[in-house]
């Protein structure tokens, strides 16, 4: 069974993710992505970006700055109680908790003391200072969500890209929140990455075309298409008293993590809250004029807001598989169990490993390096000559490499190689000159 300990340990052992500033003992639930983690996260982000912008003609993308005028955050309601969590501190042990997460509201879950302290509202925005003088005039904030950067570019993109409602703007980028209780590895951290899309619609059309439901389905399809099983995903609709200050309606996509169901993406009907407020506070008219109907209105917004780090964790947990008794292709696999990371091929950080059968035969090494040299300009590949063949297969399986190519003695005579499939463990002999086309087809390109 997959546990968080196993995921965290694999991530460290195999170069996916480790605590930030580790030589200083780590830092405040911050994490660094190593090479394989960065590749995996990039593949996820690229797939999302393509799905949202390249495969559609009604959405464009932006890359807005993290620092914005503090007026943005005043207008959006982030500096007031709207973006604050209820914090309680135990008067006995001084541990802090989110009040809304406590089962027993009056007793400390850690030391059992009763009563707990008084509830305080704790604003989640991360303050910083622009320029050399640290006074109130220099205060600004690291963005708490990426969508505000989209609203700031609504007019710019609408006009410059000649977008007509309904249209969307997508963005991937870092966001920061002073979370009271970061938890579960990269699930909830203070610095994280979001993949957000804001869809601007005419209010009646939104209802008539059921655009909220449309986006719910589209987003669910994305996770399913990348290999997450249906039974591990569900929708959860927010009750009225849970809704954020801007939301008319909200549905979460939840994943069944080892600790239980939890949110990986939110789909929100934000009504006209954002553009109305920014119109009011900036003095700019952000309404939309429809040339055909001669109708002028403030567009409503349907938002799809996914966490890139939560997506990484979701795909890792989903892909983690342990084969009891080891995989049977080699005589030496007598381990209790062996790990195979069955990531979707498009997400796999490294697509192909190339191995010479043995490393002390010059001709084999030379040929293997030639094949590596050929393939690395097409895909992220790795060359591996250390250890027995079985061990090298296992190493590939653990980091989700879909194809392993072995150069053996017949390769020297016939100019061909064996290609082993991670999931079926079947091997095929392929001519070197046909390898690129073969892999292209297998990788679904």
In the complex, which residues of this chain contact ligand ATP (CB under 6 A)?
A: 177, 179, 188-189, 192, 194, 263-266, 305-307, 309-310
Answer whether the bond into residue 115 is a cis peptide, omega within 30°: yes
**For helices 308-319 and 4-13, what crossing angle results, to 10°?**
100
Closest contact distance (angstroms) between CB of 180 and ligand ATP is 10
Among residues 178 and 282, whose Cβ is nearest to ligand ATP? 178
CB of 142 to ligand ATP, least distance (A): 13
Distance spanning both ends of the chain, measured CA to CA = 33
Least Å distance, CB 183 to ligand ATP, is 9
Shortest distance in whole angstroms from residue 323 CB to ligand ATP: 31
Secondary element (H or E) of residue 220: helix 211-225
Check if the beta carbon of residue 87 is closer than 8 Å to that of residue 96. Answer: yes
Q: 340: which strand partners?
A: 321
Distance CA(46)–CA(199), nearest Å, equals 20
- Partners of 122 in beta bridges: 85
- Could you tell me the smallest distance in angstroms from the CB atom of residue 145 to ligand ATP? 6
Cα(21)–Cα(256) distance, integer angstroms:
30
d(CA 321, CA 408): 29
Instruction: Specify which residues 177 forms β-bridges with.
Output: none
Residue nearest to ligand ATP (CB): 307
- Which of 181, 179, 177, 189 is closest to 144 using CA atoms? 177
**Bridge pairing between strands 233-237 and 288-290:** unpaired
Q: Which of residues 66 and 425 has its CB atom nearest to ligand ATP in the complex?
A: 66
DSSP H stretches of helix in 226-292: 273-282
Q: Minimum CB separation from ligand ATP for residue 202, in Å?
A: 24
d(CA 393, CA 405): 10
Distance, in Å, from the CA atom of 55 to the CA atom of 131, rounded to the nearest integer, reads: 42
Taking the least distance from each CB to ligand ATP, the nearer of 223 and 403 is: 223
How many residues are recorded in the chain?
445
Q: How far is the CB of 307 from ligand ATP (least distance, A)?
A: 2
Q: Which is nearer to ligand ATP, 172 or 432 (CB)?
A: 172
Task: Work out how close the CB of 146 gets to ligand ATP at its nearest, in angstroms, rounded to a whole number.
Answer: 9
Helix (H, G, I), strand (E, B) or coil at 335: coil
Nearer to ligand ATP by C-beta: 14 or 310? 310
Q: Which residues contact 58 (CB under 8 A, 6 or more apart)?
A: 163, 166, 167, 168
Cβ proximity to ligand ATP: between 18 and 380 the closer is 18
Which of 198, 305 has the CB closer to ligand ATP? 305
Q: Which is closer to ligand ATP, CB of 30 or CB of 436?
A: 30
Mark out the alpha helices in 14-146 (DSSP H runs). Answer: 35-49, 70-76
CB of 119 to ligand ATP, least distance (A): 18
Cβ closest to ligand ATP, residue 244 vs residue 443: 244
Give the rounded distance of the alpha carbon of 316 from its chain centre: 11
């Amino acid at each position: 069974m997959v546990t968080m300990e196993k995921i965290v340990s694999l991530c460290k052992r195999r170069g996916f993710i480790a605590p930030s500033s580790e030589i200083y003992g780590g830092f405040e639930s911050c994490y660094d992505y190593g090479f394989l983690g960065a590749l995996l996260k990039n593949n996820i982000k690229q797939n999302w970006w393509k799905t949202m912008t390249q495969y559609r003609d009604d959405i464009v993308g932006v890359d807005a700055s993290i620092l914005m005028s503090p007026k943005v955050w005043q207008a959006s309601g982030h500096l007031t109680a709207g973006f604050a969590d209820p914090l309680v501190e135990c008067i006995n042990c001084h541990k802090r908790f989110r009040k809304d997460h406590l089962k027993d509201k009056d007793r400390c879950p850690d030391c059992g003391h009763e009563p707990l302290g008084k509830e305080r509202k704790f604003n989640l925005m991360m303050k910083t200072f622009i320029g050399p003088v640290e006074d109130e005039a220099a205060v600004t904030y690291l963005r708490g969500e990426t969508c505000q950067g989209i609203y700031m570019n609504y007019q710019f993109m609408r006009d410059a890209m000649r977008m007509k409602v309904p249209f969307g703007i997508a963005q991937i980028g870092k966001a920061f929140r002073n979370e009271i209780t970061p938890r579960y590895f990269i699930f909830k951290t203070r610095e994280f990455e979001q993949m957000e899309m804001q869809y601007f619609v005419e209010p009646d059309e939104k209802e008539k075309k059921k655009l909220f439901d449309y986006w719910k389905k589209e987003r669910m399809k994305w996770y399913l298409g990348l290999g997450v099983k249906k039974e591990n995903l569900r929708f959860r609709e927010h009750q009225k008293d849970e809704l954020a200050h801007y939301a008319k309606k909200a549905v979460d996509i939840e994943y069944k993590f080892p600790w239980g169901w939890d949110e990986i993406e939110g789909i929100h009907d934000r009504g006209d809250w954002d553009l109305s407020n920014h119109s009011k506070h900036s003095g700019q008219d952000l309404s939309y004029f429809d040339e055909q109907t001669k109708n002028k209105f403030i567009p409503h917004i349907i938002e799809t807001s996914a966490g890139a780090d939560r997506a990484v964790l979701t795909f890792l947990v989903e892909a983690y598989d342990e084969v009891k008794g080891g995989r049977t292709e080699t005589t030496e696999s007598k381990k209790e169990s062996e790990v195979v990371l069955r990531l979707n091929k498009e997400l796999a950080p490294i697509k192909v490993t190339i191995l010479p059968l043995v490393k002390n035969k010059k001709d084999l090494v030379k040929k293997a390096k030639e094949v590596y040299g050929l393939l690395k300009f097409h895909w992220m590949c790795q060359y591996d000559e250390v250890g027995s063949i079985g061990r090298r297969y296992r190493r590939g399986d653990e980091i989700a490499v879909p194809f392993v190519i072995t150069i053996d003695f017949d390769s020297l005579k016939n100019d061909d190689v064996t290609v082993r499939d991670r999931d079926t463990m079947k091997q095929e002999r392929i001519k070197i000159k046909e390898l690129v086309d073969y892999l292209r087809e297998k990788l679904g390109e």
